[in-house]
Amino acid sequence: MDNTTHFGFKDVATDDKQSLVKGVFDSVASKYDLMNDVLSFGAHRLWKRYTIASSNVKTGDKVLDIAGGTGDLAIEFRKKVGESGQVILSDINAAMLGEGRKNLINQGIFGVDYIQLNAQYLPFESNTFDCVSIAFGLRNVTDKDQALREMHRILKPGGCLLILEFSKTDSELLKKFYDFYSFNVMPKLGGIIADDEDSYQYLAESIRKHPDQETLKDMVLEAGFGFCEYHNLSGGIVALHKGIKT
């Protein structure tokens, strides 16, 4: 394995990326939801609603939400699985996981388990979960292929993987606007609202380094999934990939 990887547009030692990403999310955790609403004009809530609707999660299912941050998906999954089901909200970052726990308690959502973990090393038995989700987290994982193999391993046969992530738009007009917004507006808003311009510069750069729709689909299939499809949202600025373990 190469000893360097990307952190935004910079090349860094592979072993250092995890701690650098941790620094970003330690910094932005308390303002993460507010920033998501401001930066996406509230659209992230619609993208997540579409993800939940695409999940086929039902009463009694076991669901793992990886990089679940402030708990948006976990809240909705908890409602779907009912008392007989199980939802685990996980994140590599303790500050984000703390915000998620606080958010769920404030909304009266109980019965969710919280685990701090690394997506590349999932501490679960094989064939355990009916659904694994990761929203806006895969691009921060150092070894995405290993993480996808782990997600495949812990899913039951017939289980569903949901990856909601920023992606590539084919519209030149939308691309120009998005590039201007990402690199000129987003970091400035990060500085004003979250007092952290650098972290939002990294987040904008990390989106550009993430694999495009077809590449990520191929990665999901190469990880062992028998089926994968994707749906573009907001003109391809975001895409939802759905993989099924056969």
Distance between CA atoms of residues 123 and 104, nearest Å: 23
Annotated binding-site residue? 106: no
37 is in an annotated binding site: no
The amino acid occupying position 132 is V
DSSP single-letter state for residue 54:
T
Measuring CA to CA, which residue among 170, 167, 159 is closest to residue 242? 159
Flag whether 91 is marked binding: yes
User: Is-contact 236 171, C-beta < 8 A?
Assistant: yes
Q: Is 26 annotated as a binding residue?
A: no
Inter-axis angle of helices 94-106 and 32-40, nearest 10: 80
Alpha-carbon distance 191 to 145, whole Å? 33
Distances (CA, A) of 127 to 85, 216, 244, 246: 16, 23, 13, 11
Instruction: Give burial (CB, 10 Å; 0-12/13-18/19+) of 141.
Output: buried
Question: What are the angstrom distances between the C-alpha of 175 and each of 81, 155, 172?
Answer: 38, 35, 5
Q: How far apart are CA 34 and CA 29, in angstroms?
A: 10
Nearest 10 degrees: Cα torsion 157, 148, 78, 60:
10
Burial class (CB in 10 A: 0-12, 13-18, 19+), 235: middle
User: Which residues make up each annotated binding site?
Assistant: 70, 91, 118-119
Write out the binding residues for S-adenosyl-L-methionine.
70, 91, 118-119
